Copies of this chain bind each other. A is one copy, B any other.
Amino acid sequence: MRLGSFFLTFWLAPDFVQAASSVDWIWSAKYVVTMDAASRMFKNGAVAIRGERIVEVGPRAAIERKYKASRRLDRPESVLLPGLIDAHTHAPMALFRGLADDRRLQDWLENFIFPAEAKNVTPDFVRWGTLLACYEMLLHGTTTYADMYYFEETVAAATKQAGMRAVLGQTIIGFPAPDAKTPQEALLRAEKLLERYRGDPLIVPAVAPHAIYTTPDHVLKAARALANKYGAPMLIHLSETKRENDDALQKRRLTPTALLDSLGALTGRTLAAHAVWLEDSDLEILRSRATGLAHCPSSNAKLASGVARVPAILKAGIAMGLGTDGFAGSNNDANLFEEMDLAAKLQKVHLLDPEALPAKTVLEMATRTGARALGLENETGSLEAGKRADLIILSLQSSRAVPLYHLISQIVYSLKGGDVTDVMVNGQLVVQSQKVLTLDRAQIFAKAREYRDRIVRSLGLSPSPIE
């Protein structure tokens, strides 16, 4: 027994082994914020990476002793963090960025978004919109996102080209859509996506019925059944507006959450976006079903949807991440630093309580809690041995980092998406010194401008951005 213990210790503690173990990368920084369960942080820390995964995280000196790296990135004036997780997007809508702001939801949807989508959304549109969104997400430190749109197989291909991780849901909706004339056709598209990306290291394919008010009950049930057949997540919009809740209560005598539950639609992994108008009984349902949620503060504020009950939701043990939503009126950019800052401020002023949602909690929402909401808690969301190597470097060289009293506060309330310099996803370096290595910026911007002119013409709008 004693001998066995000795050998076990020997093999588990490579400190005592003289030959250093070889790894593909060592990343080091002035501070390493792991966002692990113990909230460990290291001054002069480092991360060792082999292949797609993290091998070890710790003080730089210890990592250097144990590992020999083929490549390295040392940022002595920066913070190393897990990549951020955007829990709700419609990436291709990047091409509609700012198309129609400051408008009532019905005006916005009926006079701008629906006609713009009907006239313009094709696989090519989806491809270039997704590439633009991925370009911007990566530069702002987002490494994983959860998306709901049309032609989602094209979103998947573009996401893989960018080198990002994503949960990608093919939209199922109760009326003719750009990629499917009927919900049945959309379900077939979804199944193809589930088959095609099963087991992919970056893409988790999913089924995305739009919402209870756009998708009939039997389609919601079919979407759930399809997701469960493949062990895939279901993505949906839930209780975004008061009207959605009022209508459900009036017509169905159930809250949207209770309605979904009564249909059996929450019996499996689910990620529901917005969740603004939840009742206490809804919290109990969502907790018992282990449903993940996405809080979208910019979108909920800008579209005047309301303020989600984030502290109560988190207190109930429900995993709620942060989402940016679409660029077309709801946000208008893909920047989780802005969502963290806004999430914290919005709760404080809404509840008139400055302690309502502290910096550490919103950083958790953008990382480990977001990963849990997406069902990826074993893969990403923190810097821990065995997890996928999804890392970002945040510069401390701007005035925004000076002076520095509390690192987590500074990250949430003062540093910006623009302070991100380097990004790794799944062990691949994808952003270096603020340059996206996987994407052709000039080509993406040119295509986006072409689409802008085409969209403006299709809607009969003024071609000038200053009229």
Contact = CB atoms under 8 A, between A and B. Distances in A.
A333 interface: yes
Contacts of A331: 413
A355 to B, nearest CB: 6
Given A101-B359, A349-B346, A465 B298 contact: no
A354 interface: yes
A338 B410 CA distance: 15
B399 A135 contact: yes
A250 interface: no
Interface stretch (A164-172, A383-391, A448-456): A448-456
Contact of A332 (B97, B104, B352, B413): B413
Given A399-B132, A403-B448, A448-B402, A358 B298 contact: no
A50 interface: no
A41 interface: yes
A225 interface: no
Contacts of A42: 466
Interface in A56-108: 95-105, 108
Interface stretch (A9-17, A258-266, A285-293, A301-309): A301-309
Contacts of A348: 301-304
A100 B341 CA distance: 16
B342 A101 contact: no
A213 interface: no
What is the total number of copies of this protein in its complex? 2
Interface in A442-466: 445, 448-449, 451-452, 456, 461, 464-466
Interface string A327-360: 0000111000010011011101101111110110
A98 B409 contact: yes
Interface string A393-420: 0000001101111110110011011100
A31 interface: yes
A445 B349 contact: no
A452 B405 CA distance: 7
B456 A405 contact: yes
A300 interface: yes
A102 B409 CA distance: 9
Contact of A353 (B139, B304, B349): B304
Contacts of A345: 298, 301-302, 342
Interface string A185-227: 0000000000000000000000000000000000000000000
Contacts of A132: 399, 402
A119 interface: no
Nearest to A108: B354
B466 A43 contact: yes
Interface string A406-442: 1101100110111000000000000000000000010
Contacts of A104: 354-355
A136 interface: yes
A101 to B, nearest CB: 4
Contacts of A464: 43
Contacts of A41: 466
A402 B132 CA distance: 9
Given A359-B101, A403-B97, A448-B403, A354 B466 contact: no
Nearest to A42: B466
Contacts of A31: 465-466
Nearest to A436: B399
B304 A139 contact: no
Contact of A465 (B355, B406, B413, B466): B406
A306 B400 CA distance: 26
A136 B348 CA distance: 26
A304 B354 contact: yes
Contact of A98 (B303, B406, B461, B465): B406
A402 B102 contact: no
A82 B136 CA distance: 27
Contacts of A102: 344, 354-355, 358-359, 409
5 contacts: A95-B403, A102-B359, A342-B342, A405-B465, A416-B417
